[in-house]
Structure 1
Amino acid sequence: MTVPRPPDPIPGARLAFTLDPAVSHLNHGAFGAVPLPVQRAQQRLRDEMEANPHRFFDRGLVDRIAHARRHLAGFLGADPDGSALVGNTTTGVAVVLQSLGLRPEDEVLTTEHCYGAVALSIHRECRRSGASSRVLPMPISATDEEIVEIVRAGLRPGRTRLLVVDQLTSATARLLPVAAIVGVAREQGVPVLVDAAHVPGMLPVTVAGIGADFWVGNLHKWGYAPRGTALLAVRQPWRERIDPLTVSWEQEGGFPARVEWQATLDYTAWLAAPVGLYTLRCLGVDRVRAHNAALAAYGQRVVGDALGVAPAHLPDPGGPAVAMRLVPLPPGTATTVDGARALRDRIADRLAAEVAVMAWGGRGWLRLCGQVYNSAEEYERLAVRLPPLLAQR
């Protein structure tokens, strides 16, 4: 069986990261990896903060945050004045949920691909408000057209208060047609929140063009920003209804300042985030994206072959630019959340490889990512060593 050639490495890219070379880091989508220039930029900001905390927090910090936000929003094609920096995507989702004013007769609609922490946030807000939540089944093999029709049939105008949909799913690495989904929901008067945690940096995006009422994505995964950096974009009719999770001194300043200003939060991640995008541009945005997607596809084929999975049974992510791929694990392997975590830890401890193991749809899946610091040899080594490890169970 012929496996396509891996992409050529990007010269010097691996040297931009301080990752442990004794470990294969094949799960960039979980926590990202901060390039050395970005680490140094953030450390300089921390040094500035600690040299004179009074000056750092009291003189111009709100404007510096706004400047960073404008830079990040511009990269994502979002309205800078209609966006706010938040700590991560799940924080942005929580901000939106608690700002809606849900009532007992309302429901929040998601799909079975919804990220676990987002689902927990929805359940908490529904418990507080008396509203209900509902999950739409959506097969991993569904086409874009089928996905849109599943959503169309699942909406309940007048009752569905919010639809939460992933742009790129975390558990199943599937790219969803969010613009078409937003269009269908708008026809029925249902607001949409797009969870785009994995999109910034990995995929080209124009947030304003999607038209979602709310869109939130992390820049600390594929955008090389320090951890704790995400952008929440809000359409005009909703902006003044958005309240932060914690009230602080910019509460009367309106959106987005009231969401961004959280007193003595460490803002250095946000201020250093533009350096992450600068690093991405220096490496070549299109070059990095093409490399990462091709490397993830190569890893999927190599490991899939080793596990006896035919290419036709390897999930297609719905787009050639997706740098995360799934490999189905043998039946009965990692079929529960606890089982998936245990296998992930065994792979890390025994094979020195950091991967994601997911329990979804009644079976276990291995999720592999591609990033500029990875090499083809890392996937090949995993392919050789993983089958014996699985056989030991």
Structure 2
Amino acid sequence: MPGARLLFSLDPAVAHLNHGSFGAVPIAVQRAQQRLRDEMEANPLRFFTRGLSERIAYTRRHLATFLGAEPDGAALVGNASTGTAVVLQSLGLRAGDEVLLTDHGYGAVRLAVERESRRAGAVYRTLAVPLTATDDEWVAAIRSELRPGRTRLLVVDQLTSPTARLLPTAAISAAARSMDVPVLVDAAHAPGMLPTAVREVGADFWVGNLHKWAYAPRGTALLAVAERWRSRIEPLVVSWEQDAGFPLSVEYQATLDYTSWLAAPTGLFTLRTLGLDAVREHNTALAAYGQQVVGAALGLEPAQLPPPGGPSVAMRIVPLRRGLASTIDDARALRQRISDELATEVAVNAWGGRGYLRLSAQVYNRAEEYDRLAERLPSMLATLG
């Protein structure tokens, strides 16, 4: 979008094509957070003891309303990983229970499930779903693996991180609900990017980051919980608002720096000022363009480029040749080399034994950045064995 780059403090010498990993905070939001930090440091006692809980609740209501979640049934948390940890420890897993994941899920979530299962004597299983699976095939595959009475939690992504697939989470949640299996939707990429309201997903637990696509400072996420679970939710750290119950018991963590949460509404104001529909249309179209030009440069036909699974997806993946970046360590090494040699930030993921380049698009990006990557990337990859 014309002039949008000026809203951010990004290094102009670098092409930032990986907004999906850590986002980018607009300058106006940075300044709003700094004013809050100044307020906090001017009188810490006043900041933490006079009206902080009310300010947090106001922010929560603002963000939850934007996301289509029930304000009293949601809590602010640091990120999607934190929300996942809260859910896992609140479930009360026992020996013989199981948690079902898919192989499209985020690695840190799998590690969290692995740790909680080990502590409880439970088990977890990972369901492999083809990259080309249709929505109906996704629902059927998951339904066939659920075990009522034993499967205590299904974890599924709204938009997958390694494969950039938009999943039919509402249909998946309905299928699981019919078998009395709770669902946690990892919606790390949903806020700001996807128009779907939280209530439409119908999950027992939903957690999404606002620092990626909603222009909030990092450390801002929302955990939405279905009514039947709210009385069972326990915070990771017990503090003075423990007796208040969910959501405040989860939100209030003593001397946590709350300025990222309190500045988050400024991020939504920035997004609305740009025009939510205009931002989504720009990002979706530019991500598709980037996938096409980079894919063509690597010798891929349009049919070989995985579709995102739905509209409004501002991330696309490009398959790399087999044997390249097929492990996590190799993928990280390639990402760093692209950064160092091509002055371009991208995501590189190893999934299903193959490497994939993941491209994001945001309002500060321009088509020529993807053109430049397409021109330079093939020769660099040719030097790799």
Q: TM-score range by the shorter chain?
A: over 0.9
Offset, 1:12:
2.3
TM-score w.r.t. the length of structure 2 is: 0.99
**What is the alpha-carbon distance in structure 2 between the residues aligned to residue 373 and residue 114 of structure 1?**
28
TM-score w.r.t. the length of structure 1 is: 0.97
Aligned residue number for residue 92 of structure 1: 83
2:238 corresponds to 1:239: no
- Equivalent residue in structure 1 for 2:10, among 19, 29, 49: 19
2:372 corresponds to 1:381: yes
Offset, 1:11:
2.6
1:306-344: CA deviation from partner (whole Å, max 9, x where unpaired): 000100010001113100000000111000000000000
2:68 corresponds to 1:112: no
2:333 corresponds to 1:342: yes
Amino acid at match of 1:318: G
1:343-370: CA deviation from partner (whole Å, max 9, x where unpaired): 0000000000000000001110000000
Aligned residue number for residue 206 of structure 2: 215
Amino acid at match of 1:31: F
Secondary structure of residue in 1 paired with 2:378: helix
1:225-267: CA deviation from partner (whole Å, max 9, x where unpaired): 0000000000001001000111100000010000000000000
CA RMSD of aligned residues (A): 0.5
Offset, 1:174:
0.1
**What is the alpha-carbon distance in structure 2 between the residues aligned to residue 211 and residue 340 of structure 1?**
35
**What is the alpha-carbon distance in structure 1 between the residues aligned to residue 221 and residue 10 of structure 2?**
23
Aligned residue number for residue 298 of structure 1: 289
Within 5 A, what are the aligned runs for 1:215-364? 215-364=206-355
- Equivalent residue in structure 1 for 2:126, among 128, 135, 141: 135
Within 5 A, what are the aligned runs for 1:161-240? 161-240=152-231
Amino acid at match of 2:307: D
Percent identity reads 72
Aligned residue number for residue 113 of structure 2: 122
Offset, 1:66:
0.3
**What is the alpha-carbon distance in structure 2 between the residues aligned to residue 320 and residue 176 of structure 1?**
11
Could you list the runs of 4 or more consecutive aligned residues of structure 1 that deviate by over 3 angstroms after TM superposition? none
Offset, 1:209:
1.9
Aligned residue number for residue 51 of structure 1: 42
Amino acid at match of 2:61: R
1:201-229: CA deviation from partner (whole Å, max 9, x where unpaired): 00102111211100000000000000000
**What is the alpha-carbon distance in structure 1 between the residues aligned to residue 201 and residue 75 of structure 2?**
17
2:71 corresponds to 1:71: no
**What is the alpha-carbon distance in structure 1 between the residues aligned to residue 231 and residue 50 of structure 2?**
26
**What is the alpha-carbon distance in structure 2 between the residues aligned to residue 345 and residue 29 of structure 1?**
16
Secondary structure of residue in 2 paired with 1:184: helix
Secondary structure of residue in 2 paired with 1:193: strand
Amino acid at match of 1:135: T
Amino acid at match of 2:59: A
Offset, 1:14:
1.3
**What is the alpha-carbon distance in structure 2 between the residues aligned to residue 211 and residue 238 of structure 1?**
13
Q: Which runs of 5+ in 2 are unaligned?
A: none
**What is the alpha-carbon distance in structure 1 between the residues aligned to residue 58 and residue 372 of structure 2?**
44
**What is the alpha-carbon distance in structure 2 between the residues aligned to residue 355 and residue 114 of structure 1?**
19
